[in-house]
């Protein structure tokens, strides 16, 4: 799906990318009666969708795959319409949008945030192309939009207007805030927009609470289809690996070796650096590793965990590889042995997958630092959601930013006794 030859046009390249969401739409048609899929999609749109809301339960597997596939196809059309060249971030955003559209994003609740980002670009008289990926990642706050539509005691037109205004405000403040917070963690948390989204969600939900608007916690979690999803995902990841071998058998493993040497800090683009074959191989290997780790730890393959797996797969084009994600994930598993929760509980299972936002710490500072990062991330991720009532889908992105800001300067100071604070402020 990603293996575009140089002779392919931009249109043909995007059509090949579209095979990925189309694959799951077709799979969904076989896993749920078509007569139930549309009604399931309506349920997905109407239901609150803050963490943790598994669309496989809300609307059914077919409806969830249709929702995710449609959103991803629309995204690809928008990117093509804007004539954006395919790079690592194209792959990352597609996988991220698809994955989170299984448990939080739907074909209705993402657009006002994107419109706010568009208005920000217009205000600064620049192209939306400069901010589109930030906007796509920023749809992590889409549950807030759905929640605005659920307010009791307000007429429907008022709820629509409020949700529209809140979405625009979120989208408008997202680009400058995302740029600013990047300097705080210095690229050591890959989910940078997740960090900025956590800050925005904290402010927005605090305002909501001051008006007496609060959301009840929820846990909707699908179980019982590990075998089916293992076959579906395993087949896709094996196809990626085989396609990589067919594309570039001669230089493939040398290029993949170069990826494994990279620290993976934010801004990395393996597609530009090593080519599509090596990226496909990296995606396939990481996807199989993440899926097997979920199964071996007794977890469930469902909307949220498949979303986590595809987040790892997507960021395999922009920072993650086996050597820098494994220490982080094993750190979370180690934490489960010493703490009062089980690794196969829903929250810890998501922490296991999404903690890989801290992959650059393991890539830069080594295995021990990676284990410690995963250990700390598991605790922070399971507790920060209370700040914003779990309305930020990239909960681990917010937690990862906190852990990176905490760890990186400490590690650097230990590595160099002469390390000291830089800048105008003496710390």
Taking CA 57 as the corner, what is the angle to CA 152 and CA 47, rounded to the nearest 5 degrees? 15
If you search the block for the tokens 């963690």, which residue do you land on? 185
Please name which of 402, 397, 353 lies closest in space to residue 192, comparing C-alpha atoms: 397
Task: Kindly list the distances between the CA atom of residue 331 and the CA atoms of 261, 316, 370, 372, 379, in Å, as whole numbers in the listed order.
Answer: 21, 20, 7, 6, 11
Helices (H), 211-247: 226-247
Please name which of 260, 281, 411 lies closest in space to residue 326, comparing C-alpha atoms: 260
* Predicted local distance difference test score (pLDDT) of residue 417: 64
* Predicted local distance difference test score (pLDDT) of residue 230: 97
Q: Quote the pTM value.
A: 0.93
Please name which of 308, 294, 306, 285 lies closest in space to residue 238, comparing C-alpha atoms: 285
* Predicted local distance difference test score (pLDDT) of residue 1: 44
Please name which of 261, 384, 252, 386 lies closest in space to residue 324, comparing C-alpha atoms: 261
Please name which of 343, 228, 353 lies closest in space to residue 297, comparing C-alpha atoms: 343
| Under 8 Å between Cβ of 141 and 170 | yes
Task: Kindly list the distances between the CA atom of residue 68 and the CA atoms of 26, 167, 331, 393, in Å, as whole numbers in the listed order.
Answer: 12, 20, 31, 15
If you search the block for the tokens 């939306």, which residue do you land on? 128
Ranges of the chain whose pLDDT falls below 70:
1-8, 417-427
* Predicted local distance difference test score (pLDDT) of residue 213: 81
d(CA 303, CA 203): 28
> At 282, which helix (H) or strand (E)?
helix 276-296
> At 367, which helix (H) or strand (E)?
helix 367-381
* Predicted local distance difference test score (pLDDT) of residue 7: 56
pLDDT tens readout for residues 43-68: 999 988 888 999 999 999 999 999 99
d(CA 261, CA 333): 24
- 38 in helix, strand or coil? helix
pLDDT tens readout for residues 193-251: 999 999 999 999 999 888 888 777 789 999 999 999 999 999 999 999 999 999 888 89
- 302 in helix, strand or coil? coil
Q: How far from chain centre, in Å, is Cα 294?
A: 17
Burial class (CB within 10 angstroms; exposed 0-12, middle 13-18, buried 19+) of 33: exposed
pLDDT tens readout for residues 249-283: 889 999 999 999 999 998 899 999 999 999 999 99
Task: Kindly list the distances between the CA atom of residue 280 and the CA atoms of 145, 256, 330, in Å, as whole numbers in the listed order.
Answer: 35, 10, 24
* Predicted local distance difference test score (pLDDT) of residue 152: 81
* Predicted local distance difference test score (pLDDT) of residue 10: 87
Say which residues have a Cβ less than 8 Å from residue 218's Cβ, sequence separation at least 6: 48, 50, 52, 53
Handedness of CA 171, 177, 183, 186 (dihedral sign): negative
């Amino acid at each position: 799906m990603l293996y575009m030859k140089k002779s392919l046009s931009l249109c043909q390249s995007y059509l090949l990318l579209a095979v990925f969401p189309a694959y799951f739409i077709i799979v969904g048609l076989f896993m749920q009666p078509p007569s139930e899929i549309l009604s399931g999609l309506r349920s997905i749109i109407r239901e609150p969708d803050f963490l943790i809301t598994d669309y496989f339960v809300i609307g059914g597997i077919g409806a969830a795959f249709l929702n995710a596939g449609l959103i991803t196809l629309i995204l690809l059309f928008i990117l093509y319409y804007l004539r954006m060249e395919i790079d690592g971030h194209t792959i990352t955003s597609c996988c991220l949008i698809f994955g989170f559209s299984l448990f939080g994003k739907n074909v209705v609740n993402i657009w006002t945030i994107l419109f706010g980002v568009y208005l920000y670009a217009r205000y600064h008289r620049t192209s939306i192309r400069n901010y589109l990926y930030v906007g796509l990642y920023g749809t992590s706050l889409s549950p807030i939009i759905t929640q605005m539509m659920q307010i009791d005691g307000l007429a429907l037109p008022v709820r629509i207007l409020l949700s529209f205004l809140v979405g625009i405000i979120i989208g408008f403040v997202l680009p400058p805030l995302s740029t600013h917070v990047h300097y705080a963690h210095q690229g050591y948390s890959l989910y940078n927009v997740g960090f900025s989204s956590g800050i925005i969600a904290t402010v927005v939900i605090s305002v909501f609470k001051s008006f007496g608007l609060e959301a009840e916690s929820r846990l909707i979690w699908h179980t019982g289809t590990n075998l089916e999803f293992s076959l579906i995902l395993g087949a896709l990841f094996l196809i990626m690996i085989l396609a990589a071998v067919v594309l570039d058998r001669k230089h493939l493993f040398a290029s993949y070796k170069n990826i494994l040497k990279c620290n993976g800090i934010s801004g990395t683009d393996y597609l530009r650096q090593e080519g599509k074959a090596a990226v496909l191989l990296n995606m396939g290997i990481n996807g199989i590793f993440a899926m097997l780790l979920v199964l071996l730890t007794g977890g469930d393959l469902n909307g949220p965990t498949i979303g986590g797996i595809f987040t790892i797969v997507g960021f395999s084009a922009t920072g993650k590889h086996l050597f820098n994600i494994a220490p982080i994930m094993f750190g979370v598993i180690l934490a489960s042995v010493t703490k009062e929760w089980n690794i196969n509980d829903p929250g810890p299972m998501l922490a296991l997958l999404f903690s890989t936002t801290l992959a650059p710490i393991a890539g830069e500072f080594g295995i021990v630092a990676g284990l410690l990062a995963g250990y700390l991330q598991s605790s922070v991720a399971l507790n920060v959601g209370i700040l914003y009532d779990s309305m930020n889908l990239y909960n681990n992105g917010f937690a990862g930013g906190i852990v990176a800001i905490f760890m990186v300067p400490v590690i650097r100071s230990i590595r160099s006794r002469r390390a000291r604070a830089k800048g105008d402020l003496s710390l």
